[in-house]
Structure 1
Amino acid sequence: MTIIPKTIHKFDPQTPGSEPERPVILAMSSHVARGSVGNRAVVFALETLGHQVWSVPTVTLPWHPGHGPATRIVPDDTSFEAFCEDIAAAPHSSEIAAVITGYFGSERQIEIASRLITRLRDKRPSLAYCLDPVLGDGGRLYRPRETLHAMRDRLLPLADIATPNRYELEFLTELSLTDNNHLVDAARTLGPETVVVTSAFGMLKGSIANLLVTSEATHLAEHRLIPGAPNGGGDLTAALLLARLLEGLRPEKALQLATASVFDMMARTTKRGADEMTLVADAEVFRQPLAMVQTRRLERPRKR
């Protein structure tokens, strides 16, 4: 059974020996002048894999705030709405086959994004939507609760795929999640047919995992924890997972490749001593990761 039957399918046959035409993707998230987080990571990865990308910035910063104070330029809601209205009304917008969203600069942007996705899906009913709910980490919510509620109420019902980290899953479900069985149960209450929980619990000492949850099965892709890894791993995971699903890969294979690519990128970046992912220098990891990632199918937990 295809996990997302109305959206994720293999490319149409091409001329023998030619490269398949990749679907056009709209990416809506933050933009930084220096660094490799938000749309800087998402767009680069998708374009490296051959996709055309329509990039919509929700906020612009000089760098990730983790590097120090950073001025935020957030488009006013009226301008942002007009920008998205232009995209929805454009004759070429029917080319867009998938949407991925990440960080939002204001609560109102979420409502505007939901309307844009709905209008794009009216033009192209098979449009796939991947929601990366960038809300918090490490048990800390760094967006207002109004943003969380808007994302839960307006975007989750539209999403085919969601990629929360385990803390974001707690915030969205208002549950305390202390093991992978809890993550599975919570993920199945979200709504999207395919959920990948990043920063899930590894089964080996000193490891971390991504947990794929569907109505049929759960799979865990696990790798060693990399101390001092740069920001942007969640953005990259969501983008690569979407790209691999759009290629027609089974979800567990898409999970394995996306996880391996991100792990490979993080390992190479830290080895180089860089404070941002070395996207350009190590772009080959998106096409063919060399890192070994253990993927296993988990037993479906019993109802409690």
Structure 2
Amino acid sequence: MAILSIQSHVAYGYVGNRSATFPLQRLGHDVWPVNTVQFSNHSGYGRWRGQVFEPSHVADVVGGIVERGVLAQCQAVLSGYMGDAATGAVILDTVAQVRAANPRALYCCDPVMGDVGRGIFVRPGIPEFMRERAVPAADIITPNQFELEYLTGRTIRTLEDALAAASAVRELGPKVVLVTSLQREGTAPGTIEMLAATQSGAWLVLTPLLPIQPPPNGAGDAVAALFLSHLLRGRDAGEALGETAASIFGIFSATHAAGARELQLIAAQEELVAPTRRFAVERVA
């Protein structure tokens, strides 16, 4: 299956397309990566080199793919860090072109905007674009807890809050919501949860929260790619959640064992296809 992935790129480390492309390929997908930025490394290091590409550059690259006459082969569009709100319009135009060529194609939007402790970290205009245009156009979204709160204007403290927020954001358009990091009242210390919600139900999985400092960047990008892959393979949201949680925990475990800052996607690649440890998925709605 072919997936068109439009997001950031770094030469060193694993975020954006560097975090999404290899896992998708290892799971058997043909990936067409289009980069919204090219940096030496992710911004978490405090210093980096490179540039945010102009929206016209992104559109030009996509246009070249269109000229190959292959859009009907594309099963999904995956978007992440956009770099600029104007690039978002190019992404949505690309989604429209893919859907015209293949009406069954899915759009998975990772609404990268911010996180707990950091707040909003993208350029002005991107959060509003995500809420008003990108999320309503998506079939699947993969926000973290902070992003879900922003999209819905709700504070999440309990499971009921999280379920209500997931329901509210689905009313904007997406059919499937994956909350990639959920920490709520009553959750055992040293653990973290992910929540998947659809019209037909909601599922929760809890895994250990490994003490990696600083937390590796790019985990959300890998999670979005893994979740999309499993949905494309015909798994329901609960099954896709379980597979995704098992694989990302395996990657985190290898990263922790190595004492590394960057996700150990290559060294621990078997965790993508045959995770060492699995976790119970609980249906909660």
Give the TM-score normalised by structure 1. Answer: 0.87
The whole-number CA distance in structure 2 between the counterparts of 1:196 and 1:51 is 21
The whole-number CA distance in structure 2 between the counterparts of 1:89 and 1:173 is 39
Deviations 1:105-147 (CA, angstroms, capped at 9, x unpaired)? 1110001110110011001000011111111001501113411
**Which of the residues 230, 241, 246 maps onto 2:216?**
230
For residue 24 of structure 2, what is the aligned residue in structure 1? 46
Aligned: 1:273 with 2:273: no
Deviations 1:82-113 (CA, angstroms, capped at 9, x unpaired)? 22233334312221111111000111000111
Asked if the contact 2:210/2:252 (under 8 Å) is kept, the reply is yes
SS in 2 for 1:205: coil
> CA RMSD for the aligned pairs?
1.4
For residue 45 of structure 2, what is the aligned residue in structure 1? 67
Structure 1 gaps of 5+ residues are: 1-22
The whole-number CA distance in structure 1 between the counterparts of 2:56 and 2:75 is 26
Q: Which amino acid aligns with 1:164?
A: P
**Which of the residues 137, 145, 149 maps onto 1:158?**
137
Aligned: 1:186 with 2:165: yes
Deviations 1:177-215 (CA, angstroms, capped at 9, x unpaired)? 222211211111222111010111363332101001111
Asked if the contact 2:83/2:123 (under 8 Å) is kept, the reply is no
The whole-number CA distance in structure 2 between the counterparts of 1:112 and 1:65 is 24
For residue 200 of structure 1, what is the aligned residue in structure 2? 182
Aligned: 1:260 with 2:250: no
Q: Which amino acid aligns with 1:236?
A: A
Give the TM-score normalised by structure 2. Answer: 0.93
Aligned residues between the structures: 277
The whole-number CA distance in structure 2 between the counterparts of 1:198 and 1:279 is 18
For residue 136 of structure 1, what is the aligned residue in structure 2? 114
SS in 2 for 1:73: strand
Distance apart, 1:274 and its partner CA: 1.3
